[in-house]
Structure formats: C-alpha cells, structure tokens
Amino acid sequence: MKSQRYSCLLIFACVLFSACDNSKQSKVDNSQTAAYTHVSTSTYELAQPKAETTAVLVLFGGFPEVAKDIQREFNILKTAKQHRIAVLYVNYNQKLWFEQGELESLSLQIQEIFTAHTLPNNKVFFGGFSSGGNVALLLGNYLSQQTTFAIQPKGIFIVDSPIDLAALYRSAEKNVQRNFSDASVQEGRFLLDMLGNRFGNPAEAIDEYEKYAVFTAETNYTDNLANLHQTKLRLYTEPDTLWWRQYRMADVEQMNAFYIKRLAEQLIAKNFKYVTYIPTENKGYRANGERHPHSWSIVDKEELIRWMLND
C-alpha cells in the first residue's frame, strides 16, 4: 500500500478503502512457524504461542490499514515471540469515533476471538496507530466499566492519533482556505463533509464533538476516558514541526502532537495514575524507507514490551 494512502496527522487521505466485512469470516488458514500458531481470517489475524501465553497485544491500524499493513509497518512480532506474547491484528478501521452500538459490537467480536483461541484475559494491552489509537482508547474505556465482557486492558498505547475531532475540523478548514495542493484541498473537503454532516460546525456544536471525541482541547473535555484512571497509558507522537510545515504547510495547532501533549497534561492534572507522554525525534519512517513522522516506527518495540510485562 502506498504511503500516501495513510491517514496523515490531522490530514486524512480522502480515498477510503472498502471496510472489512466483520460479519463474514473466511475459512481459517492455520500455519505454524517456530513456536507460534498463525491464524488468518477476514476479520483478524492472530499470532499465538503454542506454549503458555504471557500477554495479549491487540492492535488497530490507521484509517485504511488492515492486518497485513500493520504487520508490514510495525514488526512487533519478532520481539513479542521472545516473551510468548500473542499479537492480535484486528481488521477494524475507518473509525474516528463510535456510533450507538458499535462499541458493544466490537467488544463482542474481540471477546469471541479470545474465547475461540483460549487467549488469557488477565494481561491484555491495546494499541493503535492514527485513527486506530482512537479506537483503542475508546474501546478500552468502554470495556473498563463493563461487567458483560471479561476483557479489560491493563494498558493502552496510541501512535500519533487525531484525538480531537473539533481540531480536526478546524484543520480541514485551514487546508481548504490555504489551497496548498489539490490533495490537501480534497482531504480538507472530505473531512469537513464527514465531520460537518455528523456533528455540525464545532463553533456552534462543540458539545456534539465532546460526546464522541477522545479529547476536546477547547473545553479540556476528557470524560470519554474517565474509566481509565487505573490503566497504563502511553501516548506516542513525533512533533516534527519543520517536516509538517515543509510538506503540509501545517502549523503547530494542526499537529496531532499538540493535542496529544495537551491530553497528557489534562489526564495527569486529573490524577490519572499511569500516563506517559512520549515525544520522539527523527524516528518516523515508513517500511519503504520514506521519512514521515506520522508512522508506527516512532514506537520503540523492545521498550514497549518491557512496559507491558512490568507490573
């Protein structure tokens, strides 16, 4: 998949890929390599140790990403195998927020996967890149206050996610007005249409954005994460202002990094116990070698595994 198809910072690709059909599961393809069993279906891919599993890492990709894309851009499995960690790649994408019933539906899907493969639910971690980070946080918050589902994540990490939907709308407005490139104008119009049709203009309907966004910086609204006080959180971002200015003509307040830092500050101020803000420098590269601060690669994989296993 070409790099320009990725959701970029606060500027998402306007060309959407067909959403994965979670209602139709393909024939399971099992193959065994080393001490792991690999399962591939239309809705997920799972790498599971044949010996006792120490932890489970559930990953959600960016706006157009499916399991194969996550595996290519974030080669965590090699390190996970050293510690008998199962890695579940979920084909659930093109989501910046959840509508009525969608959190319950996704929770049921995840629980069914755990049951089908006898995955332990006592040490589960969620992670997501870009819009997948929104999914990871909102799903984790939902599960953390549920008694219906047995899965409650011990930790969640996000990678340069567009957590503030009102800011995303305003960034799109700027991009259309600047007319920096045809692509940026098309992307801006796509976002204005999607967000405007669903929530309206944040200048007039900020409360609608608050209901669905991970975070709303304008009002310091964090209630959609209220159940994560005792959950370990890692917020990764690469605030390369020069890169975004040169290649997207984006100012600081159009960067995901700006709002991720604000969120970390707000959560710490509200006594969230285990929040870590992790800004990186010159670590963002796509699998094809392209320099891009909005990439899975900003995560130190070995250090992430240590964080997961350290109680």
Cβ within 8 Å of residue 260, ≥6 positions away: 158, 160, 161, 163, 235, 237, 277
CA–centroid distance for 39 within its chain: 22
For the chain, what is the mean pLDDT? Answer: 91
**What average pLDDT does the segment 270-286 reach?**
98
- Position 49 scores a pLDDT of 97
Q: Is the pLDDT of residue 295 over 90?
A: yes
- Position 181 scores a pLDDT of 81
The proportion of the chain whose per-residue pLDDT surpasses 70, expressed as a percent, equals 89
Q: Which residue has the higher pLDDT, 185 or 77?
A: 77
Q: If residue 30 lies in a helix (H) or strand (E), which one and from where to where? A: strand 29-33
Structural tokens at position 181: 């490139």
Q: Is the pLDDT of residue 286 over 80?
A: yes
Domains and CATH numbers, the chain: 3-309 (3.40.50.1820)
- Position 164 scores a pLDDT of 99
HSE-up (13 A, CA, CB side) for residue 295:
24
Residue type, 33: T
**What average pLDDT does the segment 56-78 reach?**
98
Q: Encode pLDDT of 1-35 as tens digits.
A: 434 333 444 444 333 332 333 333 333 334 344 59
Q: Encode pLDDT of 232-246 as tens digits.
A: 999 999 999 999 999
Length of the chain: 311
List phi, psi (to 5°) of 209. Answer: -70, -40
Q: Encode pLDDT of 112-159 as tens digits.
A: 999 999 999 999 999 999 999 999 999 999 999 999 999 999 999 999
pLDDT band at 184 (very low <50, low <70, confident <90, very high): confident
**What average pLDDT does the segment 68-86 reach?**
97
CA–centroid distance for 200 within its chain: 24
- Position 156 scores a pLDDT of 99
Strand partners, 88: 46, 58
Q: Is the pLDDT of residue 179 over 60?
A: yes
Predicted structure pTM score: 0.90
Q: Is the pLDDT of residue 263 over 90?
A: yes
- Position 182 scores a pLDDT of 85
- Position 25 scores a pLDDT of 38
**What average pLDDT does the segment 293-307 reach?**
98
- Position 311 scores a pLDDT of 74
**What average pLDDT does the segment 41-48 reach?**
98
Query: Cβ(70)–Cβ(142) under 8 Å?
Result: no
